[in-house]
Amino acid sequence: MDNWKNNTIWFEDIPAELQCYVNLKEEKMEIESLSEIEYLTLWHYKSKLHNFEEFPYMEKLLYLELNWSNQHDFFGAEKFSALKRLELHYCTKLASDHGISNLASTLEHLHINQSKKFEMSDELISLKNLRVLCLNSCADLPNLGFLKHFPQLIDFRFVDTKVVDGDLTPILEHPTIRSAGTMDKRHYNMSSEKLNRLLEQKDGGQEYRSVVKKGKWETFRYVEK
């Protein structure tokens, strides 16, 4: 199931046997029992090794979301050989991207939110299939020169993450980026409003999102090329 492609995932549309949502502060669960799951959301997962090493091999997992986990890095990520979308929210101890290169052949969406210690290296740059990259409230980025290493990137968000040199032009110069999320800062060389207006005009304004509707609700996904 490709629900992971939607900006907002409607989990009610995913068969119950293919998904799992657990708050580990409220209930216990054996991680080993999750090997057949495709969509997994965990709250307060605490690993003795501070990574993914204690997870079982989950060869069907497409979407993994961790909230308030004690992750330090991504070692053990090779156990998720089909993973398409990875989200980490309020994993405040996350500091390194070491191990994430094991997802280079599959990962298309990466969201890291509220991890102020997180700094990227060449490991993250190895993710050549990324279409969405969110580094919100992470450690400062010296500059945006690294964006050129993501040939498929459409959406780049860095809300409350400072770009030290203030130069946002690498976003405009990137051949495929059409959407960006940021906050205005005095030393940036353009406003977020101007940035997104110029991005919308790229490729002659050609549509890059398709709307997905369900009743009165709607979301979107990025157009496949």
Q: Is the pLDDT of residue 43 over 90?
A: yes
pLDDT of residue 31: 78
Average pLDDT of the chain is 96
Q: Record the pTM.
A: 0.96
Indicate the class that CATH gives domain 3-222: alpha beta
pLDDT tens column, 6-41: 999 999 999 999 999 999 998 887 777 888 899 999
Mean pLDDT of 82-86: 99
Q: Is the pLDDT of residue 1 over 80?
A: no
Query: Cα 127 to chain center, whole Å?
Result: 11
Mean pLDDT of 52-73: 96
pLDDT of residue 30: 79
**How does residue 152 score in pLDDT terms, banded at 50, 70 and 90?**
very high
Q: Is the pLDDT of residue 225 over 80?
A: no
Mean pLDDT of 113-134: 97
pLDDT of residue 29: 79
Q: Give how far Cα 194 sits from Cα of 98, 135, 156, 173, 181, Å.
A: 35, 20, 15, 14, 12
Q: Is the pLDDT of residue 143 over 80?
A: yes
pLDDT of residue 92: 98
Please report, rounded to a whole number, the percentage of residues in the chain having pLDDT higher than 70.
Answer: 100
Going along 90-184, which residue ranges are E strands?
109-115, 132-138, 155-157, 179-181
pLDDT of residue 33: 82
